[in-house]
């Protein structure tokens, strides 16, 4: 597989959303920025916070759209087009209702699965990008989904999500170098200790 050139974290801008489940993609990219000393700065052209730096010897761009989740494409698409990044060189980190908090899955391709951020991006760049699906659990009924994703995780859920993000961060070197299958095996086999 080809090395990654762009890692996107999806979320909603603003202090009122910063600690909500819907912002786990932001948490991941902010963590990479901190771990690798990549400064994220506001970029009006791409409607988000962007940064560029080295991860595992690879030149990588980071992006956190500030367009709100359901308009994420307004940030991602212009950046991808401007730099000529192919969709198989992109990792998008996002919250995932269908996975329990404390689980995390790396997937390549597929549909948007009802995720509004992916729904706004995929029609413009294709589906063949990599997705880091960060489990937040499902509230049990679709009528409760909006409140669930826009609220803070419990303390136990927060700890579980951070443990899952640890595994993804530990394997980011494999990902950016294009060793997707090895990274997928490491990430997808993660289970919280009992």
Cα dihedral 2, 33, 27, 79 sign: negative
Identify which of 45, 31, 54, 109 has the alpha carbon closest to the alpha carbon of residue 83.
45
3-class SS of residue 168: helix
Catalytic residue among 22, 115, 130, 148: 22
Q: What is the SS3 assignment for 76-119?
A: HHHHHHHHCCCHHHEEEEEEECCCCCCCEEEEECCCCCCCHHHH
Is 141 noted as a catalytic residue in this protein? no
Nearest-5° angle of CA 105, CA 89, CA 189? 20
DSSP state of 136: -
Q: What residues act catalytically? A: 22
């Amino acid at each position: 597989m080809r090395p990654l050139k762009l890692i996107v974290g999806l979320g909603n801008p603003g202090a009122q959303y910063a600690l909500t489940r819907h912002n786990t993609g932001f948490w991941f990219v902010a963590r990479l920025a901190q771990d690798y000393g990549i400064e994220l700065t506001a970029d009006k052209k791409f409607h988000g916070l962007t940064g560029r730096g080295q991860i595992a010897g690879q030149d990588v761009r980071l992006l956190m759209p500030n367009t709100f989740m359901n308009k994420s494409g307004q940030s991602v698409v212009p950046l991808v087009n401007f730099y000529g990044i192919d969709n198989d060189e992109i990792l998008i980190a996002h919250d995932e209702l269908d996975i329990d908090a404390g689980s995390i899955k790396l997937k390549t391709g597929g549909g948007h699965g009802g995720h509004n951020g992916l729904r706004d991006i995929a029609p413009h760049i294709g589906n063949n990008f990599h997705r880091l699906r960060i489990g937040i659990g499902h509230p049990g009924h679709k009528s409760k989904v909006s409140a669930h994703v826009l609220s803070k995780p419990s303390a136990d859920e927060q700890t579980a999500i951070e443990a899952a993000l640890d595994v993804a961060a530990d394997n980011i070197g494999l990902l950016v170098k294009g060793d997707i299958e090895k990274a997928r095996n490491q990430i997808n086999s993660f289970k919280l200790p009992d």
